[in-house]
Amino acid sequence: MPLALWIDGVLVNQDLTEELYRAYSGDPVDLSLRGETFEDIGPLLQFLRTRRYAILSPFTRDETMKVMKSLSLEPQLVVVREDTIKTKPSGEPVKALLARTDWDPMKTVVIGSSPLDLLSVRYSDSRIKVACLRRFADCSVYSPFIQASTVESLVKSLLRLRLG
């Protein structure tokens, strides 16, 4: 199964929830990259290296590429803020991902870390499975397919369920 993951909150230690809510409402906000990568992402990086995956990012292309280069990531596709009119919680980033790939929504998993990540998927195509890595907020109110409290348990769940 192909995977996509939101870079903020999963790989980068930065919670943009409040800024993204304000941006979605039309307010000007600063969505620049300010966080460092989490130290616990090794198992997820190893998992990604043997799979088809894409990166979803509310950051600029330059900021996103900087993070990907530092982690030696080579995704099939990268969808950044400049690629859509709105970023999450809008469904536009996920719609752009599906439009630019041949991925079947019923066989796609999106990994996120916040309710906004889940909303972005739900607004685009509710057939996509969502895995939530619980970093800053509880995603359970939006019924993720998987919710994990650690990167290691997330990867184990994905492997056990043969997702990705």
pLDDT of the residue at 164: 61
- DSSP, collapsed to helix, strand or coil, labels residue 46 as helix
Torsion angle, alpha carbons of 19, 15, 77, 46, to 10: 180
Global pTM reads 0.94
- What is the rounded average pLDDT for all residues in the chain? 94
16-41 residue pLDDT tens: 999 998 988 889 999 999 999 999 99
Distances from the Cα of 141 to the Cαs of 24, 68, 150, in angstroms? 20, 30, 19
Domains and CATH numbers, the chain: 3-160 (3.40.50.1000)
For residue range 54-106, list pLDDT tens digits in order: 999 999 999 999 999 999 999 999 999 999 888 899 999 999 999 999 999 99
Of 58, 63, 97, which is closest to residue 77 (Cα–Cα)?
Answer: 97
pLDDT of residue 162: 85
